[in-house]
Amino acid sequence: MPKVGMKELREQQLIDATLESVAQYGLHNTTIVTISRLAGLSSGIISHYFGGKQGLVDATVKHLLSQLKIALLEKTHDKQLSPEQRLMVIIDANFSQTQRSVAATKTWLSFWAQSMHEPGLARLQHINNKRLYSNLLHSYRRILNNEAANIAAKQTAAMIDGCWLRSALSLRPEEEFVQAQALCKKFIKDLLVHSA
């Protein structure tokens, strides 16, 4: 009889190993063998829990999306935040350490490239884009009229994604992520000043 919680533990071990494998070898060269070796588990367990490599990759991306959501909820749940404060928290969540670690950045970059060819990953990317836009729009609508809020949400989402991407691809990512986070916050503050 399996121990209680063993399935969740094994699944998380495999997700962590997938992140590490993608960081070391890239998504294309990540295989069931590289993942199982890094996890210290048999390769058959991947098929058992996830149905194969693609199912595990999908679960890994869902894990990153979940971490992004948790980072936002931890800072907003049961707190009375002004719209501007909430916008700043959205920036912080998108540039949190879990989203800018080497393993996460390499997985996100691989995921974005592969999502153009893999319908399941494309769907997850659409969900991610929609969630970011919706969160931004919710805050902007409390300050701006509908049209201005829509434009501001789209601009801010593009700013976050663009700054994140440039930081991830830079020669000094950790330093660039810090600057990018500050730039995104400044963008929002300047936008709100000019909209007032």
Q: Flag whether 151 is in a domain.
A: yes
DSSP 100-149: HSHHHHHHHHHHHHHTTT-HHHHHHHHHHHHHHHHHHHHHHTTTS-HHHH
Whichever domain contains 183, its CATH number is: 1.10.357.10
Q: Flag whether 75 is in a domain.
A: yes
Domain count, the chain: 1
Q: What is the pTM of this model?
A: 0.87
> pLDDT tens digit string along 36-49?
999 999 999 999 99
Q: Flag whether 52 is in a domain.
A: no
Contact 183, 161 (CB under 8 A): no
Q: Flag whether 105 is in a domain.
A: yes
CA distances 131 to 26, 35, 99, 137, 193, Å, are 27, 29, 16, 10, 25
Residues of the domain holding 67 = 57-195
Q: Flag whether 179 is in a domain.
A: yes
Instruction: Decide if pLDDT at 136 tops 80.
Output: yes
Which pLDDT belongs to residue 195?
Answer: 83
Contact 60, 107 (CB under 8 A): yes
Which pLDDT belongs to residue 1?
Answer: 45
**Average pLDDT over the chain, rounded to whole?**
93
Rama region for 25: left / alpha / beta (φ>0; ψ in -120 to 50; rest):
alpha
Q: Flag whether 10 is in a domain.
A: no
Measuring CA to CA, which residue among 165, 187, 185 is closest to residue 176? Answer: 165
Q: Flag whether 41 is in a domain.
A: no
Q: Flag whether 141 is in a domain.
A: yes
Which residues, 6 or more positions from 40, have their beta carbon under 8 angstroms from its beta carbon?
13
